[in-house]
Amino acid sequence: MKNFLKFFLVGIFFGIVLVKSEAVSWYRIFEMFKFQSFHMYGIIGTAVITGIILLLIAKKNHLKTTQGTYLRVPLKDKGLIRYIVGGSIFGLGWALCGACPGPMYILVGTGVFSMLIVIAAALLGTFVYGILKRKLPH
């Protein structure tokens, strides 16, 4: 329960940051996909750079996860097709509904209850993936 509370508070903070930075705004996302504004690219780039720096600091200081294991990034097989197909599906969903998975929940929290339909569709897609997983190239 203690870990749940920590992660819950971090999630609330993350949601506030995304709302205040306008990263959950459909108009900002639309501008990004039309290459009309640097705003979203700046947010995403800052997040990537921050993540890299924090991971390097955590590895250098031998920090452990909440499960007590050391942080490590597992190596993955190279596979161009799966990344192109998966990224295209993700990007198409993002462009159609105007939100990626994190902001979907944040938008519900801000009162955009139509996002519940999007969340239901995302859960259905996850369920279908679970059924088809063994037949897909990984």
**pLDDT at site 2:** 79
CB 118 within 8 A of CB 124: no
Mean pLDDT of 111-138: 90
What is 35-65 written as a DSSP string? Answer: T--SHHHHHHHHHHHHHHHHHHHHHHTT-B-
Q: What is the pLDDT of residue 127?
A: 95
* Residue ranges of domains in the chain: 1-36+75-135
**Tokens 């999630």 sit on residue:** 11
Residue 51 has pLDDT above 90, yes or no: yes
Q: How would residue 43 be classed by pLDDT, with cut points 50, 70 and 90?
A: very high
Contacts of 70 (CB under 8 A, 6+ apart): 59, 62, 63, 64
pLDDT at 94: 83
Contact 23, 40 (CB under 8 A): yes
Task: Kindly provide the residue ranges of all beta strands, DSSP E only, lying in the chain, ordered along the sequence.
Answer: none
Is the pLDDT at 124 greater than 90? The verdict is yes
More confident residue, 48 or 93: 48
14 CB-near residues (< 8 Å, 6+ apart): 102
- Residue 81's pLDDT is what? 83
